[in-house]
Amino acid sequence: MNTWLIIAVDGVAFASWLFLISVGMTLIYGVLRILNVAHGSLYALGAYTGASLIIAYFRHDLWPYGSYLVLFGAALLVGVIAGPLIERGLLRWVYDRDPAVQLLVTYALFLILEDAIKLGWGADPYYAYKPYQLLGQVQLGGIAYPRYSFLLLGIAVAAGGALWLFINRTRFGKLIVAVIEDPEISTAMGVNVPRVYVITFTLGAVLAALGGAFTAPMISVAPGIAVEVIVLAFAVVVIGGLGSLEGAALGALIVGIVRAAAVHHIPDLELFAIYLVMAAVLLVRPQGLFAREERRRI
Partner 1 sequence: MRPLLITVALLALLAGLGFVLPAWIIFLLSLAFARGLAILSVALLLRAGLVSFGQGLFFAASAYTVAFVMRAWGVREAALATALGTAAGVLVAGVTGLLLARYREIFFAMLTLAFSMVLYGILVKAYALTGGSDGMAVATPTIAGLALEAERLRSGLYLLTLSCTAAVAYLTFRYMNSPLGYAARAVRDNEVRLEYLGLSTWGTIYLTYVLAGGLSGLGGALMALNVGHVDPQLAYWTTSGEFVFVALLGGIGNVLAPLGGAVVFEILRAYAFKYAPYIWQMIMGSAMLLIILFMPEGLWTIYTSAVRRIRIRRWSWRRLG
Which positions lie near partner 1, rule CB under 8 A? 35, 90, 93-94, 97-101, 103-105, 107-112, 114-116, 118-119, 227, 231, 234-235, 238, 242, 268, 271-272, 275-276, 278-279, 282-283, 286-287, 296, 298
Closest separation in Å from C-beta 153 to partner 1: 27
CB nearer to partner 1: give 118 or 174. Answer: 118
Least distance (Å) between residue 266 CB and partner 1: 11
Instruction: Using the minimum distance from each CB to partner 1, give the nearer residue, 62 or 116.
Output: 116
| Rounded distance between C-alpha atoms, residue 185 and residue 97, angstroms | 20
Q: Shortest distance, CB of residue 40 to partner 1, whole angstroms?
A: 12
- Comparing CB distances to partner 1, the nearer of 115 and 182 is 115
Residue 20 CA: distances (Å) to CA of 16, 91, 93, 176, 208: 6, 23, 28, 21, 7
Neighbouring residues of 81: CB distance < 8 A, sequence distance ≥ 6: none
Give the nearest distance from C-beta 95 to partner 1 in angstroms. 13
Least distance (Å) from partner 1 to the CB of residue 293? 12
Nearest approach in angstroms of CB 214 to partner 1 is: 25
Residue 171: Cβ within 10 Å count: 7
Nearer to partner 1, 128 or 242 (CB): 242
Which CB atom, from 29 or from 197, has the smaller least distance to partner 1?
29
The least CB distance from residue 201 to partner 1, in Å, is 17
Give 126's strand partners.
221
